[in-house]
Structure 1
Amino acid sequence: MADIGTLVDSIEERSDTLSTLGYKVRFDLTDGGGILVDATGGRVTVSTAEGTEADTVMTLSSDNLLKLIQGKLSPMMAFSTGRLKVQGSQGVAMKLAGLLDG
């Protein structure tokens, strides 16, 4: 299980890339906790948040989120194998996947 602080730090390291997202995305971690990425207003804030309103909610394990951030797991592979579930805007999820892949 990946540490939530490590995940937040890893996402913050990608904030320059994520600043073009323009939406709020919440990661609900199946092994406990949640992370909100707010990329509205031209800047990115990353916080631990459960149940916060977001344009898209992505549900996955903390280990799989870390693999996505590190580029060790393709977002499309995670989705097609059921390791990643998406609620809300599929378009936002696709845009985020493209930014993480980049």
Structure 2
Amino acid sequence: MLVFGDPYETSSGTVLITVTRQGRRGGPGRAVGLYTIDSDGVTWTPAVDGGRIALIGACTGFVAAALATLAVVHRPPWPNLTERAMIALAESPKHRR
């Protein structure tokens, strides 16, 4: 449920009305945005939660790092250095001296 705050008039005649979303079970609400009413008309400015954006970015980075680590552990980017591969490499004409 949206809750509209009391109108606040600035010295220039602009009226500001805050909008919040009511919290669950009477808990604290969360800012949604701000209506600005002036001589040009009404504008809506949404509230931006910088902490939530930073948290999403950090979680995305951690997931990407974990997936990259799993990919390297599963199949490393360096060549396959098994005994059979080393023997074949030593017997190839390109590597004989």
**TM-score grouping bracket, smaller chain normalisation:** under 0.3
Mark the structure with the bigger radius of gyration: 2
**Where is the strand percentage greater, Structure 1 or Structure 2?**
2
Normalised to the residue count of structure 2, the TM-score between the two structures is 0.22
